[in-house]
Amino acid sequence: MIPHDLTQSIKVSLKTATGQLGYILSKIDDVDQVENILLQLKAVQSMLTKTTYELLDDAYRKALAERISSAYQSCPGDCGNEETIEKLRKLFPELKLEEVPKKLREARMVEEELKKFLSERLDTPSPRD
């Protein structure tokens, strides 16, 4: 689900943050390093925030868009999830990044319900099975 180049970028960021945290742990008792430790903590915090947003925006937002599109195209109009699908479709462009994981879970639930609905109504299996 997560593109390889994004995975690599995230791994580099996490390894860098791990290295910085290791440095902080080794110097935490050194009173002369207080300013440097604070600087390192801010750098780690900034890096983790950037990595979080990168992951949410790049990978999870794309996955949510794909699930909303699939659900929208699969629902024949009486699937029982029309309101949820329409709400997700309309909200998508304005979703805050922090809301994406929750909405992705909603879209997954709708997708599962649609699979069940379609399998009960159709003689042919769903293409996603």
Q: How many residues does the chain have?
A: 129
H or E stretch covering 94: none
Q: Which two tokens mark 89?
A: 């479709």
Sketch the domain layout of the chain as residue ranges: 4-121
Q: Can you give the pLDDT at residue 42?
A: 94
Q: Locate tokens 């609905």: which residue?
A: 117
Rg, the chain, Cα only: 21
d(CA 12, CA 28): 24
What pTM, to 2 d.p., does this model score?
Answer: 0.56
The whole-angstrom separation of Cα 103 and Cα 92 is 9
Residue 1 — very low, low, confident or very high, per pLDDT cuts 50/70/90?
Answer: low
**pLDDT tens sequence across 80-94:** 888 888 888 888 878
